[in-house]
Structures are given as C-alpha cells and as structure tokens.
Amino acid sequence: MPIIDSRVHITVKIWHENLVNIYDSTIGEGTKIASFVEIGGSVIGKNCKIEAHVFIPPGTVIGDYVFIGPNCTICNDKYPNAMASVWERSPVTIKDRARIGADSVILPGVTVGENATVGAGSVVAENVPDGAIVYGEKAKPREIRCLNKPML
C-alpha cells in the first residue's frame, strides 16, 4: 500500500510503511501510525497516535495529541449512494487532545471537542463538546415482527 502525494513529517513513525494507505494528506511531527491504516485527503496534527485498522476519509481534520484506538472508522458521506454522480462530503473534525476508543464510529459532519473522550464501541452521531466523556450506542428494536409468522 502506498504513501502518495502526502506531506509526512520526518519524525512520523509508521510501523510498516508497506501496510498503510496514505494519500493527499498532511501528517504532523511525532505522530505514530500503526499497520493497516488508511488516511486520505486529511490533515493530522502533531504527536497523534493512530492504532491499527483505522479509516480516516477525505476532509477529516485531526488536531494535535489525538489518540484513535484500533478499528475506528470515520465517515464523511451522510447519504452514501454508489449510483450518485455527485458526492457531497461532510467532513469530521477531531480537536486537540481528544481520545477515541477502540471500535468507535464517528459519523459524517461531527466535531469531537478538545479534551473529549469517546468510549470504546461508541457510535458518535452528534457533536461532542470540549471536555465531554461520551460512550455507547445501545442497540434497540427498530421494527417489531409478528411472532406467529416465521421469518424468511
């Protein structure tokens, strides 16, 4: 996997350069990036730590000293449609010193505030205020099926 058309500070540590996909991005000094990370069209601040299997899409802006745990996904398309000819990006901003727990999903257009913490496994659909601690997205019934009929 390549590193293409990106400005990566000389002090950035990428654990396995052949196991990341980085394009059209800027990555600040002292940042650490684990294997199997994709960063496209984004700006990453200094001294961040991005764990394995993280997806950071175009338009994302990440501040300084941000931690992103393994398997996190950041989304930038509110209405994904493979057939659409026009794509409207809704970028995500993660401010300085924020912490994003493992397996979290940050939905399009969200801002995670400075010094905020997102607990592991969270789905973040709304802006997170500075200094807030947020977590969870409890599964709940969305549809009730008749118990007398078999489900196909």
Catalytic residues: 53
Bridge partner list, 44: 27, 62
- Print burial letters for 3-39: b (CB count within 10 Å at least 16), e (below 16): beebebeeebebeeeeebebbebebbebbebbebbbb
